[in-house]
Structure 1
């Protein structure tokens, strides 16, 4: 599978996990700093997996 598709799937998966509960959605809507921090961490995690994949021989 193309690593770009895996990156996209990971990002949407993390987004779905974070927004799955109405309570979490209300809390995030009240504090945009948390949204910024979580999205930054999710981006770092996805890009880390991508870099590791490339290092072990993944193709683009």
Structure 2
């Protein structure tokens, strides 16, 4: 349940952010960076739990 409510479920929320990561070194020994998208969890939200009515597959 969610916050003591058995009819609700906690669903995690996510957002994506760009980060720089070291991907190697150049010929001068200097780090080379590239952008990557990273999934970050920023909390959860309570929603109605429909597990009882959803078909199982």
Answer yes or no: same fold by TM over 0.5.
Answer: no
Q: In which range does the TM-score fall when normalised by the shorter chain? A: under 0.3
Bigger proportion of residues as helix: 1
Higher relative contact order (CA 8 A, sep 6+): 1
Structure number with bigger Rg: 2
Bigger proportion of residues as strand: 2
**TM-score by structure 1 length?**
0.20
**TM-score by structure 2 length?**
0.20
